[in-house]
Amino acid sequence: MKVLITGAQGQLGQDMARIFSRAGHEVFSYGREELNITDLDHSLHVVSTCRPDWVIHCAAYTAVDAAQTDVEGAYLVNAIGTRNMALAAEKIDAKIVFVSTDYVYSGTTERPYIEYDSPDPQSVYGKSKLAGEQMVQSFCSRWFIVRTSWLFGLNGNNFVKTMLRLGQEKPKLQVVNDQKGSPTYTVDLARFLLSIISTEKYGIYHASNSGSCTWYEFTGAIFEEAREQLGLDITAELQPCTTAEFPRPAPRPANSVMDHLAIRLNQLEDLPHWRDGLKQFMLDIKQHPELYLK
């Protein structure tokens, strides 16, 4: 099977390319230099040239705080760029997977969100990703929209790597303890995406590592696993704080935990628990220490 992956330099895109290649698929992996998703003509040309069976659209504007003021930039990539990939896929009768986000929800409910809850994004980033979802549904006949959350992987910067660094540099760390979600290892998400493209069970899915925690609880687990698996000397004192004590330009969902109802209804294999994902991340870092500083 021929698979085109956008966002090749991103942490998810890199894991996707590796895992899909190992599974025997012919992978065309493009970064922004090779594929400008904001240019419709260029998108149509690239996709029609390699003629993939699947387009896995990982490329995104993910600077959540910057998007609050760079509104046009966020919508150009997340909405118009997604429209272009959707049109290009549909033109050659390819199927598409669009990777979306928990930020399409307001985060104001007490219970986990199911796929059929109405989105209500509060940030420009969340609104632009929801616009991308709408583009896929409008222009494609066969699609998966996969909402995920709190991604971390071996490649690129992410919360886990930042906490590992700060835990060794700072005497004290305050981390938000009133935002709850599900950390997700990019390898686990890539394997789930690999599994769904062999089906025709199209639709919207929530796909994060199972279980949930706050950022403070996540950081505590990061420190525990780093000491145990990597032998790191993490000396920082960890203290909980509130969102109000750590203000950011873009609002964050207080509760972005997503129930995996569609995975269960379609009898698919769920993702592992986030603690298992985190432990495997540490073991993988141990095998590839050169990626720790990337």
Spatial distance between the Cα atoms of 52 and 95, rounded to a whole number of angstroms: 9
CA distances from 288 to 166, 216, 252, 282 (A): 20, 26, 32, 10
- Please state, in angstroms and rounded to a whole number, the distance separating the CA atoms of residues 40 and 149: 28
Predicted pLDDT of residue 43:
98
Where does the pLDDT of residue 292 fall: very low under 50, low under 70, confident under 90, or very high at 90 and above? low
2-158+183-210+257-272: CATH topology is Rossmann fold (3.40.50)
Range of lowest pLDDT (54-58, 248-252, 254-258, 288-292): 288-292
Confidence label for 290 from pLDDT (cuts 50, 70 and 90): confident
Give mean pLDDT, residues 69-96: 98
The whole-model pTM stands at 0.96
Count of other CB atoms within 10 angstroms of residue 249: 12
Position 288 scores a pLDDT of 79
Averaged over 273-277, what is the pLDDT? 98
Domain ranges of the chain: 2-158+183-210+257-272
Read off the pLDDT of each residue in 163-167 and give the average, rounded to a whole number.
94
Based on its alpha-carbon atoms, the radius of gyration of the chain, rounded to whole angstroms, reads 19
Q: What is the pLDDT of residue 291?
A: 66
CB-count exposure of residue 211 (10 Å: 0-12, 13-18, 19+) = middle
d(CA 196, CA 148): 15
150 Cβ contact list (under 8 Å, min separation 6): 102, 159, 181, 182, 183, 184, 208, 218
Return the pLDDT at 111.
97
Tens digits of per-residue pLDDT, 120-155?
Answer: 999 999 999 999 999 999 999 999 999 999 999 999
Q: Distance between CA atoms of 124 and 116, rounded to whole angstroms?
A: 22
DSSP H helical ranges for 170-214: 186-196
Q: What pLDDT score was predicted for residue 246?
A: 86
- Res. 294: pLDDT tops 50: no
pLDDT over threshold 70, residue 84: yes
Q: What pLDDT shows up at residue 100? A: 98
Q: Residue 280: is it exposed, middle or buried by C-beta count within 10 angstroms (0-12/13-18/19+)?
A: middle
pLDDT-above-70 percentage for the chain: 99
Q: How confident is the model at residue 156 (pLDDT cuts 50, 70, 90)?
A: confident
Which among 135, 93, 72, 119 has a CA at the least distance from the CA of 253?
119
Q: Please tell me the number of Cα atoms within 13 Å of 281 on its side-chain side.
A: 34
Task: Name the residues annotated as catalytic.
Answer: 125
Residue 289 is predicted with a pLDDT of 77
**Residues 258 and 189 sit within 8 Å (Cβ to Cβ):** no
Kindly report the number of other CB atoms within 10 A of residue 42's CB atom. Answer: 15
Tell me the per-residue pLDDT of 9-66, one tens digit each, with 9 for 90 and over.
999 999 999 999 999 999 999 999 999 999 999 999 999 999 999 999 999 999 999 9
How far, in Å, CA of 107 to CA of 250, rounded?
Answer: 13
Express each pLDDT in 193-216 by its tens digit.
999 999 999 999 999 999 999 999
